[in-house]
Chain A
Amino acid sequence: MSMHTMKLSIGPIQYFWERQQVLDFYQQAASSPAEIIYLGEVICSKRRLVKPQDWIAIGKELRQGGKEVILSSLTLLEAASETGALKKLCSNDDFMVEANDISAVQLLSANGKDFVTGPSVNIYNQRSLQLLADKGLKRWVLPVELGLETLADMQAARPAGVETEVFALGRLPLAYSARCYTARSHNLPKDNCQFKCIDYPDGRMLKTREEQEFLILNGTQTQSALTHQVLEEIPQLAALGVDVLRISPQANNTMEIIEIFNNARKTPNMNPLSDELLKLLPAGACNGYLVGKAGLDYEVNPAA
């Protein structure tokens, strides 16, 4: 059987990192096997150590090195200034945009620009996918709470010219709020957050009262404490015609993880790779969503 080789993407950085850490990260990414790189601040408009023009500069450099570069938009829009920044992003002529909110879809289609939708744009059925394809959608990311069964149905009716991307590794983006939980955990209001996020390059751990590592506070975003990973399902995802696997950056080991996925997409025997992967995750793995269970569940070899 000749299976098509899926591309690898690096999703936008979800956390607030020091500027130098961001620059170093993309320098490494430039020589990684990932074909697609998503750039930009998607969580909080107050995080400005890397500015819009910096992202464009990083993007141009990555593109010169042969990467496909996409600029990602803010997920939850609140202030008028945020919509203003979104309008600028959606009229840029340099790069395609990943819409993380329907506002971006509207602006991009009005500008006649093709676009990608990220995991927080709710595409749960074919009719939604078809309508957005008619607006210029070229690639969509499966919402993270949906599983292989729905993915198979969606792939069966996928409009021509639309690629499918799956969130393949990372702490799951679960929720967005007006409230900043990292600031709250320091007893600070959002308007005086003192940029506490910078101290938590993988987000801040929230545990239950019996010490179960449960969620991650990342400013206004809440993530899973466990890292969702689909390594064992790669053959199935390839068979379903998935085009892109997304690796969501973590503070450490991201390039090693990309290497593992790079090997996995070429070899059918995943188990040794899986053991290696688990050692690189900050707080363990989960994959429940993919097999129609609670997101935090973890099934080893669910396909078997």
Chain B
Amino acid sequence: MELVCPAGNLPSLKAAVDNGADAVYVGFKDDTNARHFTGLNFTERSFEKAINYAHDKGRKVFVAINTFPQPNGFKRWKAAVDRAADFGVDALILADIGVLDYARERWPEMRLHLSVQASVTSAEGIGFYHQNFGIRRVVLPRVLSVRQVAHVISESPVPVEVFGFGSLCVMVEGRCLLSSYATGRSPNTYGACSPASHVRWEETKDGTNTRLNGVLIDHYAEGEKAGYPTLCKGRFQVGENTFYAIEEPTSLNTLSLLPELRNIGVSAIKVEGRQRSPAYVAQVTAVMRAAIDDCLLKADSYQPKAQWMQELAEVSEGSQTTLGAYHRPWQ
């Protein structure tokens, strides 16, 4: 199982490589990728350094160009594909049918991975992208139970990558418009969910309000730790109850599932978090590396170590972790 880690800048990429990532995935400094945040991502200059650093150490670099261009921006996505290919990256992670079609035609030898943003959850869907664009790997959305992942793998024409750790999208990726409904900007169109430009922290007489384009996402009482107003992780009223109606602020953590993921034939484990710090990347990469190595060595006697769980909890949203949709009762 390959370990694929995120990097939003050069220090993070070095942290991933130095702590044992097999591959690092990155994006360019614009809306062609799904972590389009201020101060994040790579210019041509930093990108060249990143590729050299990883390749010198025998690791791979993947470039995510995984948002959905509209006609007036399509040129920018083509340019991103060309730039990545010119730099000799190891794979492109793409989602849009038009961009895949362009990449396949212009760079027929380039290795293409299907992004989680393509929203594909069945072998038939994977078959569409395999047949038309020759994709060589698919990243599955975080909506399937382990059993369902196993079934997809058994019929998939290409190897399967799944998420192993990080912030949890609870909606199927690539088809979630909650953010653009509230702000006009979505992961698909703009490369960001609940964008910082629309966030407001508001001190009130009894605590803190967090708002997204004016919509109240949560209210925190004095002394309660306020979290970033990611739309699906706020507290709302449904009927008589006020609660985390969609999901708690929590991160996905699959350490306890690694043997199962290995047994069903998962080819790569992805860590979420290109927007996180180099310290996060270093810590999560180190833990995941140790856990995957231990799992491959010990097979069924593998147990996640308490120290690993502790270290991952420290960098998790709300210091909580979950198995998410992999674990049926969560659904």
Contact surface of A with B, Cβ cutoff 8 Å: 75-80, 83, 86-87, 101-103, 105-107, 120, 122-128, 131-132, 143-146, 149-150, 153-154, 157, 172, 174-181, 184-185, 189-191, 204-212, 214-215, 217, 222, 224, 288-289, 292-297
Q: How many A-B residue pairs have CB under 8 A?
A: 213
Chain B residues 160 to 207 lying within 8 A of chain A, measured CB to CB, are 170-172, 174-178, 180-184, 186, 188-189
Residues in B215-246 with C-beta less than 8 Å from chain A:
215-219, 232, 234-239, 241-242, 245-246
A sample of 17 inter-chain contacts (CB < 8 A) reads A76-B121, A80-B148, A101-B121, A102-B119, A122-B95, A125-B70, A128-B98, A145-B180, A145-B188, A150-B71, A176-B143, A177-B172, A189-B331, A190-B331, A191-B328, A209-B242, A212-B216
How far is B99's CA from A124's CA once the two chains are assembled, in angstroms? 11
Chain B, Cβ-Cβ closest to A87: B124
| A103 and B122 form a contact (CB under 8 A) | yes
- Chain B residues within CB distance 8 Å of chain A: 68-72, 74, 95-99, 101-102, 118-125, 127-129, 131-132, 142-145, 148, 151, 170-172, 174-178, 180-184, 186, 188-189, 213, 215-219, 232, 234-239, 241-242, 245-247, 325, 328-331
Chain B residues with CB below 8 A from A150, complex form: 70-72
Are the CB atoms of B181 and A172 closer together than 8 Å? yes
Contact at A174–B181, with CB atoms within 8 Å? yes
Given known contacts A106-B124, A153-B70, A190-B331, A294 and B170 CB-to-CB distance under 8 angstroms: no
By the criterion CB–CB under 8 Å, are B72 and A127 in contact? no
- In contact, A206 and B245 (Cβ under 8 angstroms): yes
Of chain B, the residue at the smallest CB distance from A76 is: B172
Q: Which residues of A contact B144 (CB under 8 A)?
A: 78, 178
B72 touches A153 (CB 8 A): yes
Contact A179 B330 (CB under 8 A): yes
A174 partner residues in chain B, CB cutoff 8 A: 176-178, 181
B171 neighbours in A (Cβ, 8 Å): 175-177, 222
Which 6 pairs from chain A and chain B are nearest by CB?
A127-B98, A153-B71, A295-B181, A175-B171, A106-B128, A124-B68
Q: Is the CB of B216 within 8 A of A208?
A: yes
Partner of A145, one of B129, B151, B189: B189
**How far, in whole Å, are A209 and B234 apart by their CA atoms in the complex?**
10
CB atoms of A214 and B97 under 8 A apart: no
Q: Smallest CB-CB separation from A222: which chain B residue?
A: B178
- Picked from A124, A185, A189, the residue with its CB within 8 Å of the CB of B239 is A185
A207 to B239, CA, bound (A): 9
Residues of B close to A185: CB separation below 8 A: 238-239, 241, 245
Inter-chain contacts of A120 with B (CB < 8 A): 175
Query: Bound complex: CA of A143 vs CA of B189, how far in Å?
Result: 11
Q: How far is the CA of A100 from the CA of B102 in the complex (A)?
A: 24
Q: Once the chains are docked, how many angstroms separate the CA of A191 from the CA of B327?
A: 12
* Contact assessment for B218 and A209 in the assembled complex, using a CB-CB cutoff below 8 Å: yes
Within the complex, which residue of A126, A191, A208 is in contact with B215, where a contact is CB–CB below 8 Å?
Answer: A208
Q: Which residue of A lies closest to B132 (CB)?
A: A131
**Which A residues touch B102, using CB under 8 A?**
127
Known contacts A83-B122, A106-B124, A185-B245; A146/B236 CB under 8 A: no
CA distance A210 to B219 in the complex (A): 10
Contact B170 A214 (CB under 8 A): no
Contact B124–A191 (Cβ < 8 Å) = no
Give Cα A212 to B331, complex, Å.
27
Cα distance A41–B21 when bound, in Å? 43
